[in-house]
Amino acid sequence: MLKEKILVLMGGYSEEREVSLRSGAAVLNALKNLGYDAAALDLKGSSVQAIADYNPDLVFIALHGKDGEDGTVQGLLEIMGIPYTGSGVASSAIGINKVLTKKILMYERIPTAAFAILKKHDFISPERELQSLLENIGLPMVIKAATQGSSIGTFIVHQESDVLVAIEAAFQYDSEVLVEKFIDGIEVTSTIIGNELTRVLPLIEITSANEFYDFESKYTPGMCNHIIPARIEKHLQDKVADLSERVYKSLSCRGYARVDFIIDKTGNPFVLEINTIPGMTEMSLVPDAARAAGISFEELVERIARLGLETPIRQR
The residues that are catalytic are: 16, 150, 219, 258, 260, 273, 275, 279
Q: Residue 165 carries which side chain, given as an amino acid letter?
A: V
Is the Cβ–Cβ distance between 276 and 257 less than 8 Å? yes
* Residue positions counted in the chain: 316
Which distant-in-sequence residues (6+ apart) come within 8 Å of 279 by Cβ? 19, 22, 23, 64, 150, 218, 285, 286
Asked whether 57 and 25 are in contact (CB, 8 A), the reply is no
Q: Is the dihedral of CA 213, 216, 219, 225 positive or negative?
A: negative
At 74, is the secondary structure helix, strand, or coil?
helix
Residue 278's SS3 state is: coil
Q: Tell me the CA distances in angstroms from 57 to 8, 111, 303, 313, one per residue in order.
A: 11, 39, 15, 12
The strand pair at 5-10 and 58-61 is best described as: parallel
